[in-house]
Amino acid sequence: MHNPIEVKNLYHSYGKHVIYEDLNFSVEQGKIFGLLGKNGVGKTTLINILMGFLRPTSGSCLVLGEDSHNLSPETRRKVGLLHEGHLAYEFMTIAQAERYYSGYYHGWNRKWYYELIDMMSLSHDHKISKMSCGQRSQVVLGLILAQNPELMILDDYSMGLDAGYRRLFLDYLTEYVANGEKTVFVTSHIVQDLEKLVDDIIFIRKDGYLLQTSLIEFMDNFKQYRFKNSKGVKLPEQDDIIKNVEIIGNKVSVYAFESKEPVRKYLMKKNVEVANLEEVPMTLEDAFIGLMGKY
């Protein structure tokens, strides 16, 4: 069994602007894998490289066992791609779109398409051009799911979708990978959606910071601690212990992959007065901001 995605020693830049430097990670089969990072870190660039639309400066990417820049037509049929927004042939009707796309994919499952589409209570003769942005998004996601691909790559699936349909689509994704044979690689700006969805995550920052971990391990080990510091003592910047610091008035939050007592002792060694140090529970969105920063 091979990993559906393998990224090895990837380096890419636009002129002097380095996007990735020695990027290495793999995506296991049967998992839902989340790629998280703020705007401009290169999430869409990475998907372009994985699909062979962009050649990296150096390094390699394997997708379903093939070099990403030389994917065979047969392998491309095994990848369901949502790329930079939701695009569809808007002059078609709902039924015409399904018939058109079904001819390209051997494992086409029209049942999944119409299950999602029929929740909009629209005639199958309804033209896509007459739909709202959110409805067009539902059509595209239905088409991708109906492809029944081995690997699904979703670049921000949430565009225009209301909360209820997002939750519905995530339920379908969970069912889609349930047999352990299918894999999903997903990015999203709605981080809270991923908390109940992904198995593994990668965090990427503009400074090249990379963390790959399981969601459970990350949420168990990454901590937020809060205390008051009325003396205005300069706090340590990011280092091996403290991953981020936020100060609002005299309230200080520090984020670390350490338990409470080691953090207290570390701050005291740095001559930081720590009074009433307490751990603060976090959602995935809280932890994402704590690790990556607000700006």
Angstrom distance (rounded) from CA 201 to CA 152: 16
Which stretch of DSSP H or E encloses residue 174? helix 163-176
Higher per-residue pLDDT: 212 or 85: 212
pLDDT at 143 over 70: yes
Mean pLDDT check: name the lowest of 41-55, 123-137, 200-214: 200-214
**What's the pLDDT at 156?**
84
pTM for the predicted model, two decimal places: 0.89
Between the CA atoms of 152, 156, 157 and 159, what dihedral angle is there, to the nearest 10 degrees? -160
Report the mean per-residue pLDDT for the chain: 89
Check residue 233 and give its pLDDT.
Answer: 60
13 vs 17: CA distance, rounded Å:
5
Please say whether the beta carbons of 235 and 252 come within 8 A: yes
pLDDT tens digits, residue range 254-263?
Answer: 999 999 999 9
Q: Looking at beta carbons, which pairs linking 174-177 to residues 24 or more positions away fall under 8 Å?
A: 174/32, 176/145, 176/152, 177/30, 177/31, 177/32
Q: What confidence tens digit (pLDDT) does each residue in 62-87 have?
A: 999 999 999 999 999 999 998 866 66
Please tell me the predicted confidence (pLDDT) of residue 271.
82
Specify the fold of 5-217. Rossmann fold (3.40.50)
Do residues 79 and 64 lie in contact, with contact meaning Cβ atoms separated by under 8 Å?
yes
**Distance between CA 110 and CA 112 in Å, rounded?**
5
Q: Is 112 exposed, middle or buried (0-12, 13-18, 19+ CB in 10 A)?
A: buried
**Is residue 161 pLDDT above 90, yes or no?**
no
Which of 6-15, 152-161, 234-243 is the most confident on average?
6-15
Please state which architecture CATH assigns to domain 222-292: 2-Layer Sandwich (3.30)
pLDDT at 236: 64
User: Are 245 and 237 contacting, i.e. CB atoms less than 8 angstroms apart?
Assistant: yes
- Average of per-residue pLDDT across 125-151: 92
For the segment 13-33, the average pLDDT, to the nearest whole number, is 89
Q: How far apart are CA 272 and CA 9, in angstroms?
A: 40
- Tell me the β-bridge partners of 204: 210
Q: Which residues have C-beta within 8 Å of that of residue 18, sequence separation ≥ 6?
A: 11, 12, 208
What ranges do the domains of the chain cover?
5-217, 222-292
Q: What is the mean pLDDT of residues 229-256?
A: 79
Other C-beta atoms lying within 10 Å of the C-beta of residue 185: 25
